[in-house]
Each structure stands twice: as structure tokens, then as C-alpha cells.
């Protein structure tokens, strides 16, 4: 598998391999139990990007041989109604993974809805229970998909993390914070930066690994980087632009993910993989 081209880290070959593994596991589960792994997605409202993301998720399920069910609730849905729907899916033995599409309308308490997803079915890694397991380095939960995908890319490129300085820019619950936890579990020395960090460029300059999860196009500049560092760009801004200024950073970094085609393809592959792992665990199939 070629995972790099010059110093560009290519997400697609790594994501394809994970998808193939998820597909094989799904086939094994069906063969052994007659039950297909199943992902249930819930979308509240009419956000056009959310509809696109849901479609992409269902297409990937199909590709991996995973059954998918979709529940679309209207804009006026209350927290109680959403909680009731997710609770019902949590109790359904034929549903192995549950994903609530973000964002939900303002009147809905998203956290209350997330927290009724059983940890065993939280394949998107959004619940407190999943986060705590990840942070405490314990099994039984799933990490958030994009950070897990970044770890997958680093592993595919055989980047050694032990003892290395990692700087994560961004502290969101789905990206920056879980990323920091996963890097810590790999024995990196981790610094988390955010909008109040003073003199960000000098902090970034200390890093052997920089993960950008900021949401500002072309934010990280080449002259902030230590020569030879590894740069992972989680950013996905309108117009397919990352959070890293690729032009100035690529000549300085030893490895760098482009946008598109770097971190992006990993997220859905990890989601599919985690759905099949959740199904295998719920169906008491070990070792597949």
C-alpha cells in the first residue's frame, strides 16, 4: 500500500484498506449469525450539508455490507421526542451503532440526546462514557472518528509518537480533545492550543507533530513549523480548503496531509469499522 507521494500523506489508500477490513468483518458476522451489522442515523431538521453527510454515510454502509436505517425528524422536534427515538434505537437488538447528526436545532439539548446512546452503540464516540474510556485508555468504547482516523494515518506512515512533542490546535469535543487523548495514549507529550493561546506560532514551533483542527482556512503557516515535523490537517472549510497553508507548510514538513484527500477519507472508514466492531461485540463474536 502506498500511503505517501513525496511527503504527502494519502488518506484514500489507508481508508480503502480499513473499508475492506470492515467489509470482511461484516461478511463474517452475517455468515456466523445471519444478522447484518446495522448503523442507525438520526437527523433533525433540514440542514443541507447534514443531508449530504448522511447520504455519504449510507453509501459507505452499502459499500461495506452494513445495513443502515435512517430516521429524519422534523425541525420542530423536541428534546423529549429525540431522546425517545434514540432510546428506542438503543433498545433495538438489531441496531448496533447509532449516529446523531450534528448540528441539531437550537431547541434540542444535544447532550441529553447523545447521553441516551448506549456506550456499546456509540460508534461516533460522542458520549461522556466513550470519551472517559478513551481518556482512561480503557476498552469498551469507541473514539471520535476523525481523531481515530488521524491515528490510523500516522500508524500507516509508521510515525513514531513515543516521547515526541505533539501540538493539537483546537479543543472541540469531537476533534481537539479526543485527538489529544489518543496521542497521550501513544506516549506523545501533548499540548492543546486554542483561541486564547498566547504566541501560538512559538508553541507550534516546538512540535514534532502538529494537528490542525481550527476551522480557519490556511491558518497554520510554514514559518511556524519546526523543519521535518509531521502535519495533520483535520480542517475542512468551504471550497475544500484545509486549516493548514499547504503551500508554505509542505516544503518544511517531512509528512503532511493535503486537503482534500488526506484526513478526510478516514472519518467515514473509521465509522464503518467501528460499526462492525460494535456489532461483533454485541453479538458476542470474539476475534473477528
- Taking CB under 6 A as the binding criterion, the range among 90-98, 120-128, 158-166, 209-217 that sits at the site for ligand NAP is 209-217
Cβ(151)–Cβ(198) below 8 Å:
no
Q: Does 235 bind ligand NAP (CB under 6 A)?
A: yes
User: Are the C-beta atoms of residues 125 and 131 closer than 8 Å to each other?
Assistant: yes
Least distance to ligand NAP, CB of residue 213, Å: 4
List the one residue from 42, 113, 161, 174 that touches ligand NAP (CB under 6 A): 174
Q: Among candidates 282, 277, 271, 270, which has minimal Cα distance to 94?
A: 282
CB of 56 closer than 8 Å to CB of 28: no
146 binds ligand NAP (CB under 6 A): yes
Tell me whether residue 57 is one of the annotated catalytic residues. Answer: yes
* Interface with ligand NAP (CB under 6 A), residue from 10, 18, 99, 169: 169
> Binding mask 32-51 vs ligand NAP (x if CB under 6 A, - otherwise)?
--------------------
Q: 74 catalytic, yes or no?
A: no
- The total of other beta-carbon atoms located within 10 Å of residue 235's CB is 26
Q: What is the DSSP string of 157-190?
A: TT---TT-EEEEE---TTTHHHHHHHHHHTT-EE
SS3 209: strand
Which one is catalytic: 85, 121, 122, 124? 124
Q: Interface residues with ligand NAP (CB under 6 A)? A: 146, 169-172, 174-176, 193-197, 200, 213-216, 234-237, 243, 263-264, 267
Residues belonging to the active site: 57, 101, 124
Amino acid at each position: 500500500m502506498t500511503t505517501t507521494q513525496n511527503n504527502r500523506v494519502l488518506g484514500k489508500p489507508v481508508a480503502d484498506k480499513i473499508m475492506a477490513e470492515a467489509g470482511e468483518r461484516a461478511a463474517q458476522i452475517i455468515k456466523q449469525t445471519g444478522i447484518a451489522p446495522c448503523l442507525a442515523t438520526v437527523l433533525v431538521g433540514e440542514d443541507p450539508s447534514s443531508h449530504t453527510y448522511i447520504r455519504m454515510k449510507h453509501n459507505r454502509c452499502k459499500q461495506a455490507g452494513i445495513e443502515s436505517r435512517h430516521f429524519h425528524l422534523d425541525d420542530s422536534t423536541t428534546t423529549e421526542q429525540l431522546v425517545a427515538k434514540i432510546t428506542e434505537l438503543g433498545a433495538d437488538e438489531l441496531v448496533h451503532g447509532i449516529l446523531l447528526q450534528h448540528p441539531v436545532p437550537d431547541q434540542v439539548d444535544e447532550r441529553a440526546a447523545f447521553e441516551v446512546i448506549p456506550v456499546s452503540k456509540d460508534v461516533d464516540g460522542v458520549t461522556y462514557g466513550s470519551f472517559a474510556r478513551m481518556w482512561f485508555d480503557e476498552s469498551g468504547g469507541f473514539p471520535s472518528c476523525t481523531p481515530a482516523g488521524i491515528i490510523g494515518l500516522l500508524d500507516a506512515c509508521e510515525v513514531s509518537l513515543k516521547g515526541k512533542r505533539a501540538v493539537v490546535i483546537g479543543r472541540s469535543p469531537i476533534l481537539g480533545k479526543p485527538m489529544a487523548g489518543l496521542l497521550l495514549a501513544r506516549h506523545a507529550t501533548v499540548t492543546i492550543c486554542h483561541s486564547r493561546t498566547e504566541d501560538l506560532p512559538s508553541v507550534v514551533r516546538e512540535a514534532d507533530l502538529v494537528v490542525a483542527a481550527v476551522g480557519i482556512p490556511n491558518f497554520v503557516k510554514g514559518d511556524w513549523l519546526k523543519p521535518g515535523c509531521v502535519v495533520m490537517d483535520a480542517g475542512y472549510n468551504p471550497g475544500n480548503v484545509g486549516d493548514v497553508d499547504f503551500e508554505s507548510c509542505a516544503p518544511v514538513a517531512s509528512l503532511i496531509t493535503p486537503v482534500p484527500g488526506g484526513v478526510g477519507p478516514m472519518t467515514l472508514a473509521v465509522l464503518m469499522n467501528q460499526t462492525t466492531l460494535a456489532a461483533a461485540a454485541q453479538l458476542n463474536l470474539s476475534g473477528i
